[in-house]
Amino acid sequence: MFMAQMHKWWQTGVVYQIYPRSFMDSNGDGVGDLAGITQRLGYLEWLGIDAVWLSPVYPSPMADFGYDIANYTDIDPLFGTLNDFDALLHEAHRRNIKLIVDFVPNHTSDEHDWFVESRSSRESSKRDWYIWRDPAADGGPPNNWTSFFGGSAWQFDEGSGQYYLHMFDVKQPDLNWRNPEVRAAMYDVLRFWLDRGVDGFRVDVIWMMIKDAQFRDNPNRPGWKPGDPPYARQEGRYTENQPEVHDVIKEMRSLVDRYDERVFIGEIYLPVPQLMHYYGHSLDEVHLPFNFQFIELATWSASTIRACVDMYEKALPEGAWPNWVLGNHDRSRIASRIGKEQARIAHMLLLTLRGTPTWYYGDELGMQDAVVPPEMMHDPQGKDNPQHSRDPQRSPMQWNSQPGAGFTQPGVTSWLPLSQDYQHVNVQVEQDDEHSYLTLVKKLLSLRQSIPALTTGSYTSLDGVPDDCFVYIREQEGKRYLVALNCSGQEQQLHLDHARQGNVVLSTFLDRNDQVELTNFVLRANEGCLIEIDD
């Protein structure tokens, strides 16, 4: 108990990401909204999550579905009003749920007043708030930088005869974070939401905020070919992870630290050694640099999972708190990536590892990517290559078996099609099924809450287990728990010499609570077990 109290809420808690367009539509327009989320908070409380991270809900032309912000301090009418936001925050807090909001500092919408002003002339007082460059000698773009969504990252502006930089959509001009006025204006935005009472921020593409001062060309990635993901085309040597970005992050963090108990999370896609720098030399940058290893794993196997967990644990700086992310709105859902059987294993892994877990709405049901016909796709990342569209993982939350899946009213067409499996993969059906995916996740969450070793205990992975199994011990104050995961579709025999006996507290099949001889026990195909080890 004493140990647990020394930890912050964001260390012992779990984070649930809501993509607001797709969670709950309260007004029958086919798009989710804030009042809808408020209506469904009871479900999240029942499930046992600690914090919600909300993707952007600010006024936006929706070229990138809210990641193109036209006003940082208001709510888009599609989602509601500031009053609706306050009501959501109030109701979440009443239920002991924290609310983390998305902060998108790298770029604004081209319809933000700042950009409208900046583009008005080369002499504009806000010209330098964005990244404007003269054309190259041949009139083409200033350098070879490509956008994450494909094509050049530079857009020519006829009116003023220069190019502006957009690392994402053409409607998302990059802000110039070398300009102190930009920093001051954006810090005001942070204060606006902190004063309103939000519990923290997830900062969008935080590692990309500063670009090379000399605008050098990025190296192309060898082997990239048309049809591969557009964001993989180039190494971001001069557009990402620039040394100066750390000063900006420190400034933001010190501002956040002036408020009690807020969390500061960074979206960072970098290899682990570089990711670690974002904790800051004195742990003065982000609290949690999102750890996307499970999202990025090329093969889901016991050895690759163990290697990435062990390597990450070893790389963590002294005092830094780990975290694990299973899914998000940018990548294919876990149950589609690794299959439904192994997705249960993935949830047991996520919720029994050391570190703050984050997962994506609907993953607790085993939701899979929806089939979205090309003509119904919206995502700018899929415009040239529908296979890279992120729409399939953004399909509406599946609440029940009724037409509209309880997401929207029957007869209303939702903004993205419902997944075809909604009639049997949904909250209502799974709440009543003692072996469902949802029941598994709820049990894992309640065990995580009641067993301190699972949140704040040590982690040790075990040798001498079958190649297809990943086995580790979580331990605190003499209490030891074994997590044994069979990452294959074949039965596995384990012979552990660490202890003689244990009790199965939970199997991913939710059908056993037996005592096992650890020197000789069997994991069924695709089974994971959490076992309390006898002293």
Residue numbers of the site for ligand GLC (CB under 6 A)?
64, 67, 104, 168, 204-205, 267, 329-330
Nearer of residues 352 and 358 to ligand GLC, judged by Cβ: 358
Q: Which of 55, 102, 343, 310 is nearest to 206 (CA)?
A: 102
Q: At what angle do helices 180-196 and 245-256 cross, to 10 degrees?
A: 30
Q: Which of 244, 325, 262 is nearest to 289 (CA)?
A: 325
Nearer of residues 329 and 448 to ligand GLC, judged by Cβ: 329
Q: What are phi and psi of 507, to 5 degrees?
A: -110, 150
- Report, in Å, the least distance between residue 60 CB and ligand GLC: 11
522 forms bridges with which residues in the sheet?
A: 493
- Report, in Å, the least distance between residue 169 CB and ligand GLC: 8
- Report, in Å, the least distance between residue 99 CB and ligand GLC: 18
Nearer of residues 43 and 269 to ligand GLC, judged by Cβ: 269
Which 3 state secondary structure label does DSSP give 56?
coil
Tell me the residue number closest to ligand GLC, measured at CB.
67
- Report, in Å, the least distance between residue 149 CB and ligand GLC: 8
DSSP letter assigned to residue 214: T
Nearer of residues 52 and 305 to ligand GLC, judged by Cβ: 52
Q: What are phi and psi of 253, to 5 degrees?
A: -65, -40
**Alpha carbon separation from 263 to 174, 219, 235, 277, 455 (Å, rounded):** 25, 35, 30, 18, 17
How many whole angstroms separate alpha carbon 362 and alpha carbon 466? 32
DSSP letter assigned to residue 472: E
Check if the beta carbon of residue 162 is closer than 8 Å to that of residue 123.
no
Q: Which of 135, 167, 175, 173 is nearest to 149 (CA)?
A: 167
Q: What is the H or E stretch that residue 266 is in? A: strand 263-266
| 204 carries an active-site annotation | yes
- Report, in Å, the least distance between residue 391 CB and ligand GLC: 12
531 forms bridges with which residues in the sheet?
A: 482, 504
**Helices (H), ranges, 316-376:** 334-337, 340-352
| 157 carries an active-site annotation | no
Q: Which residue out of 204, 330, 379, 527 is catalytically annotated? A: 204
- Report, in Å, the least distance between residue 484 CB and ligand GLC: 34
- Report, in Å, the least distance between residue 329 CB and ligand GLC: 6
Q: What is the dihedral of CA 142, 147, 152, 156, to 10 degrees?
A: -70
Nearer of residues 240 and 430 to ligand GLC, judged by Cβ: 240
Look at strands 492-494 and 479-486 and give their pairing: unpaired
How many whole angstroms separate alpha carbon 407 and alpha carbon 402? 9
Nearer of residues 379 and 527 to ligand GLC, judged by Cβ: 379
Check if the beta carbon of residue 230 is closer than 8 Å to that of residue 380.
no
How many whole angstroms separate alpha carbon 351 and alpha carbon 50? 13
- Report, in Å, the least distance between residue 470 CB and ligand GLC: 28
Check if the beta carbon of residue 492 is closer than 8 Å to that of residue 468.
yes
Q: Which residue out of 25, 110, 267, 391 is catalytically annotated? A: 267
Q: Which of 29, 80, 135 is nearest to 54 (CA)?
A: 80
Q: Catalytic amino acids?
A: 204, 267
